[in-house]
């Protein structure tokens, strides 16, 4: 089930709201059980056959976190952690990387049968969340949970279950026990949900149509204008798709009293690749930073070791996104750029005019998305060649511009921090009862209602509704 589906918005969500809020807030455990039950159903809708897998993941993390918690003997704690991490990675490795591994071994001459494995929805997210719980408990950052249902709720919690953000256990550990649902949180959560839904339905999906049309064309048939249009459309699509899902997840969490951390912070206004990764998929980059990069030594070591650490982290970041060579190359591409900014041209970048550093960043980001979106590295190279090749204009580009001008314009505006600017204008003018504060309070809510209706219109008339991040 996806958030931008009729069944979720108009069946699952109203049913959950009714059942959850009819139970008095003092019966916290019962509310948790309701939330867990609905979350399990939410996951099962996508195909209950993988339900057992996530249950196994919960059981592993629950049972190994107890001996891994501070208080026991250090070797026993470490052994518990290592076994559980290996088990988590083994599950992820089998379901996500077995086919890729066998195919590559076969390319070297072996003749192993290629297994037929379906990727379980959200496996990358719930595996990383499970490991986050284990490691936080091992480090003593969070207590080991003795009630398995609470661990299950943390991993199963439907807003972040299948496409993130990767919620760290420490972020919501307290709220699983004690939280307070309020009208203010409900309102701001549902406003956030409506904005996320609109980003997905009205912008990401439409840009996706354009990107798909271009990326389904042989690179040899692409003019440079069309190749750029396709690359920019995908640049917009992936941001609005993924950030929309995060908005909806954060909003839904808030409705039920959970406060997840932000996952995006206007990444396309960045003036360096380093800044871009501080603003893009924050939960993933901080996960890798805290659980891999820093334990490897981070940047408090020799330069050669730093280079090694960054290469390892970004190769794995690429691999996390998908079992294909283009994702690995994509990760290495960012590793090289980040190393370049740290050791080679970072200082120059600080001194050039902002618009130049912004163009530099966006150019490299757009090229990275070409690599990311292409089915093969060969296609990506062909596309990049077309982007910088001859034959600028063609009828197809004209048609797509005429057909999609409105979403390109809306997307450009929505990728900029217009909302932050408006909030600043309406909140900080000193007059608490004037027109601007009125707009500041009512504007987002009325806009959210309008966007909800527009999204509903788009939803009922559209079958084009895949979430990109589901395959991770």
CB 2 within 8 A of CB 470: yes
**What token pair was written down for 243?**
């950030």
Residue 73 or 463: the one with the smaller Cβ distance to another protein is: 463
Q: In Å, what is the CA distance from 403 to each residue of 14, 65, 91, 139, 240?
A: 36, 54, 45, 54, 19
| The one catalytic residue among 281, 321, 358, 433 | 321
Min CB(463)–another protein separation in Å = 8
Min CB(444)–another protein separation in Å = 9
Residue 185 or 341: the one with the smaller Cβ distance to another protein is: 185
Residue 154 or 245: the one with the smaller Cβ distance to another protein is: 245
Min CB(402)–another protein separation in Å = 5
Min CB(445)–another protein separation in Å = 4
Active site residue 177: no
Min CB(145)–another protein separation in Å = 30
Q: In Å, what is the CA distance from 348 to each residue of 306, 340, 344, 351, 357?
A: 21, 11, 8, 5, 10
Min CB(153)–another protein separation in Å = 22
**What token pair was written down for 128?**
């990383």
Min CB(214)–another protein separation in Å = 10
The packing angle between helices 28-44 and 51-68, to 10°, is 140
Q: CA-to-CA distance for 248 and 100, rounded, in angstroms?
A: 32
Binding site for another protein (CB under 8 A): 1, 5-7, 9-11, 13-14, 17, 45-49, 183-184, 186-188, 190-191, 194, 217, 221, 395-396, 398-399, 402-403, 406, 433, 437-438, 441-442, 445, 448-449, 452-453, 456-461, 463
C-alpha distance across the termini of the chain, in Å: 15
Give the residue among 241, 279, 274, 276 at the shortest CA–CA distance from 263.
279
> Which residues are tagged catalytic?
321
């Amino acid at each position: 089930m996806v958030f931008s589906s009729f069944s979720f918005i108009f069946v699952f969500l109203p049913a959950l709201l009714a059942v959850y809020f009819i139970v008095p807030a003092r019966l916290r455990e019962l509310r948790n059980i309701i939330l867990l039950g609905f979350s399990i159903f939410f996951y099962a809708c996508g195909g209950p056959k993988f339900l057992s897998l996530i249950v196994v993941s919960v059981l592993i993390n629950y049972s190994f976190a107890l001996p891994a918690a501070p208080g026991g003997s250090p070797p026993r704690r470490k052994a518990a952690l290592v076994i559980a991490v290996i088990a988590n990675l083994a599950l992820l490795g089998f379901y996500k990387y077995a086919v890729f591994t066998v195919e590559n071994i076969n390319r070297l001459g072996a003749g192993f049968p290629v297994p037929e494995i379906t990727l379980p929805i959200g496996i990358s997210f719930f595996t990383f969340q499970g490991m986050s719980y284990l490691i936080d408990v091992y480090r003593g950052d969070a207590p080991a949970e003795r009630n398995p249902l609470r661990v299950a709720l943390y991993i199963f919690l439907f807003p972040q279950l299948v496409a993130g953000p990767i919620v760290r256990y420490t972020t919501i550990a307290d709220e699983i026990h004690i939280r307070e649902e309020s009208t203010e949180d409900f309102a701001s959560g549902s406003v956030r949900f409506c904005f996320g839904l609109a980003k997905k339905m009205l912008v990401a999906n439409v840009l996706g149509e354009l990107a798909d049309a271009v990326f389904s064309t042989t690179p040899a048939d692409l003019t440079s204008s069309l190749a750029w249009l396709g690359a920019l459309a995908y640049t917009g699509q992936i941001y609005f798709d993924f950030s929309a899902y995060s908005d909806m997840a954060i909003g839904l969490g808030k409705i039920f009293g959970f406060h997840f951390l932000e996952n995006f912070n206007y990444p396309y206004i960045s003036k360096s690749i380093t800044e871009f990764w501080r603003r893009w998929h924050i939960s993933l980059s901080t996960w890798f930073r805290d659980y891999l990069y820093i334990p490897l030594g981070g940047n408090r070591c020799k330069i050669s070791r730093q280079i090694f650490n960054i290469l390892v982290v970004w190769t794995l970041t690429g691999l996390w996104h998908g079992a294909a060579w283009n994702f690995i190359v994509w990760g290495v591409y960012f590793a090289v750029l980040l190393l370049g900014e740290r050791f080679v041209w970072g200082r120059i970048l600080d001194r050039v005019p902002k618009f130049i550093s912004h163009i530099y960043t966006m150019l490299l980001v757009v090229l990275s998305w070409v690599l990311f979106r292409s089915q093969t590295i060969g296609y990506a190279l062909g596309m990049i060649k077309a982007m910088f090749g001859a034959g600028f204009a063609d009828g197809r580009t004209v048609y797509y511009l005429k057909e999609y001008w409105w979403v390109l314009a809306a997307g450009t505006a929505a990728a900029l921090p217009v909302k932050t600017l408006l909030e600043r204008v309406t909140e900080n003018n000193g007059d608490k009862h004037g027109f601007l504060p009125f707009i500041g309070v009512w504007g987002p809510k009325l806009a959210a209602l309008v966007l909800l209706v527009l999204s509903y219109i788009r939803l009922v008339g559209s079958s084009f509704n895949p979430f990109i991040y589901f395959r991770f």
